[in-house]
Amino acid sequence: MGSYDLDLEALALEVTQLKRKNEILEAENKQQYRLGSANPVAEITDAFANTSVYLLQLVIDKICEPRVYSLSVKADTEGAEVVAKMLEGVTGNAGM
């Protein structure tokens, strides 16, 4: 397996931001349904955000082979730090 030049902290931050954005969009969409003015664009955006988080998770898992980490990213300010600490030991083993 080749060496990867990837900023895992930036990737972890991206996952956190996407999850946070998705939670906000889901809350807005639920509110719109309650008010009777559902927005199909918000639903598409929700699906896109979920897919983006899923794809980033696949990238992280693939890079971390043979060590596969189950990442549970908190949607708060320490989420990126949590993921970065989990991945700290992996960066040196990415070329295995």
pLDDT in tens, 47-95: 666 666 777 777 776 666 544 444 444 444 455 666 666 666 655 544 4
User: In angstroms, what CA-CA distances link 23 with 6, 53, 90?
Assistant: 27, 12, 29
Structure tokens at 6: 């990837």
- The pLDDT of residue 68: 42
Q: Where are the domains of the chain?
A: 8-83
pLDDT tens-digit series, residues 6-59? 677 777 778 788 888 878 877 877 777 667 665 555 555 556 666 667 777 777
Say what the pLDDT of residue 30 is: 76
CA angle 68, 93, 13 (to 5 degrees): 65
- pTM of the predicted structure, to 2 decimals: 0.35
Smallest CA-to-CA distance from 7 within 74, 72, 63, 69 is with 63
